[in-house]
A and B are shown apart, each in its own frame.
Chain A
Amino acid sequence: MEHETLFPLLCETANGNKTAFAELYNLTSAQMYAVALKMLKRPELADEAIQDAYIKIWHNAGQYQRGKGTVFTWMLSIARYRALDLMRYHKVRNEVDLSEDTHSPVSTDESALSDAELQKLEACMGELEPSQRQAIHLAYVNGLSHQEVEAHMASPLGTIKSWIRRGLQSLQRCLSL
């Protein structure tokens, strides 16, 4: 999807083509909305995050640089950062349903990254210690702060920060090989 579809649509969007922008929205909004909703929990805030993200994408489509990553990753980052802003402004207390599975491997259902990249990410996440993997997952996918991860995992704040820092270092070593 990424190379064949999203990139040409983003190029057309940069030229002011509203039909292309609508198609881009059609193809990506469900995943973008799911990510925002996962972080913000409240639908009205997820609405706002996604709305602001797509308006920014509309205005800044021409600033995308292919060398820096896929179109979808670029779009998703805009939505995630907006969601993080809204969490702070609205003082969203982020808690995770304990029934949620925060250990599962990465699925390969979607295609923002290639299958090979996803398999590598999954393999590298699998090499982390379980506590490191869970802490990174809680922060990235659920939008939890260090303190919220501390509360969720019932471990000291210093330990949480260490898990995340060392986990990220291990992940980088593994992914850059």
Chain B
Amino acid sequence: MNYLNEQRRNALAAEYVLGTLRGKARARYQKLMMQYQLIAETTALWEQYLGGLNQRVPPVKPPPRVWEAICAQIDPASVTESANSPSSSDGTSDDNIVAFERKRRKQSRLFSGVAAAAALMMAVLLVTLSEPVVAPIERVAIFSDTDNQPLWIIEISGDSLNVRVTDALAAVSDKDYQLWMAPADGGAPISLGLLPKNGDITRIPPEMLLDKNVTVLAVSLEPLGGSPNGSPTDVLYHTNIFSV
């Protein structure tokens, strides 16, 4: 089939941008875009053609946790700055996890600055009163290297997926690590997002991950930004999930 034929090229590009080109046909088209400059350019043209259709969708401000999570991934050291991000400048948060982390930072500053026992007791009281209820950890998974050195520790509770990196990880700077789950029905791996290279991140787990029949997680090595085609590129590790 000649994909460069003008009519076919435009038909495929339009349906790709529209979103109706799906499954294997979509994956094949993504390869064609990498292979042929003309197909990539036709796709960009259709993106421009149809882009205006979205501009009647009324804007919705994303919750502050989204910016927090972005900062945590591009630069974990900037998470503190992100509390002052544009999206959270109103000081509100509807995310218990982010709120907890901010309170924990406030707590640590308070402890370092107060020596008097009375103030210490007041701080403890305040933190005790203000900490949100955190769901107990139900499942854990540990990714280890070939020397059995743990690299990432995954903790799953009803409302959060927490990932911690150990100092055994020798991260590469020009690649990202991506976390995947194997669905219980044997379907294609599902991305759980990029893994941190240091520190820890917390995100909301998809409902499918809470299925007790999901027992395997995997880590793949990906180009910066994550898998280009929605499938793992180079699977490095896999591990079982255990209930606790």
Given A25-B70, A47-B63, A143-B19, is A104 in contact with B49 using a C-beta cutoff of 8 Å?
no
Q: Among A32, A56, A136, A172, which residue has its beta carbon within 8 angstroms of that of B226? A: A56
Measured between C-beta atoms, what is the minimum distance from B7 to chain A in Å?
8
Q: Among A33, A88, A104, A169, which residue has its beta carbon within 8 angstroms of that of B60? A: A33
Kindly report which residue of chain A lies nearest to residue B190, judged by CB atoms: A89
Q: Among B54, B59, B61, which residue has its beta carbon within 8 angstroms of that of A76? A: B54
Measured between C-beta atoms, what is the minimum distance from B179 to chain A in Å?
12
Measured between C-beta atoms, what is the minimum distance from B103 to chain A in Å?
21
**Majority secondary structure, A binding face:** helix
* CB proximity to A under 8 Å, residues B43-92: 44-45, 47-63, 65-67, 69-70, 73-75, 78, 81, 85-87
> With a CB–CB cut-off of 8 A, which chain B residues contact A169?
10-11
**Of A25, A149, A164, most B-chain CB atoms within 10 Å:** A25
Please, how many angstroms separate the alpha-carbon atoms of A175 and B50 in the complex? 10
Measured between C-beta atoms, what is the minimum distance from B25 to chain A in Å?
11
A23 and B86 within 8 A (CB): yes
A109 at the interface (CB under 8 A from B): yes
B203 at the interface (CB under 8 A from A): yes
> With a CB–CB cut-off of 8 A, which chain A residues contact B128?
none
Please, how many angstroms separate the alpha-carbon atoms of A145 and B25 in the complex? 13
Measured between C-beta atoms, what is the minimum distance from B24 to chain A in Å?
11
Measured between C-beta atoms, what is the minimum distance from A166 to chain B in Å?
11
Q: How many residues of B contact A (CB 8 A)?
A: 57
Please, how many angstroms separate the alpha-carbon atoms of A101 and B57 in the complex? 11
> With a CB–CB cut-off of 8 A, which chain B residues contact A127?
none
> With a CB–CB cut-off of 8 A, which chain A residues contact B203?
48, 51
B226 and A47 within 8 A (CB): no
B66 and A50 within 8 A (CB): yes
Measured between C-beta atoms, what is the minimum distance from A67 to chain B in Å?
9
A168 at the interface (CB under 8 A from B): yes
A123-151 Cβ-contact flags toward B at 8 Å (1 or 0): 00100000000001101110101100100
A137 and B53 within 8 A (CB): yes
Please, how many angstroms separate the alpha-carbon atoms of A70 and B67 in the complex? 23
B225 at the interface (CB under 8 A from A): yes
A118 and B52 within 8 A (CB): yes
A80 and B19 within 8 A (CB): yes
10 further interface pairs, Cβ-Cβ under 8 Å (given A21-B74, A55-B225): A34-B57, A47-B63, A47-B204, A48-B203, A55-B226, A89-B188, A117-B52, A139-B18, A145-B22, A164-B20
A-B CB proximity, top 5 nearest: A26-B86, A30-B59, A68-B44, A73-B51, A33-B62
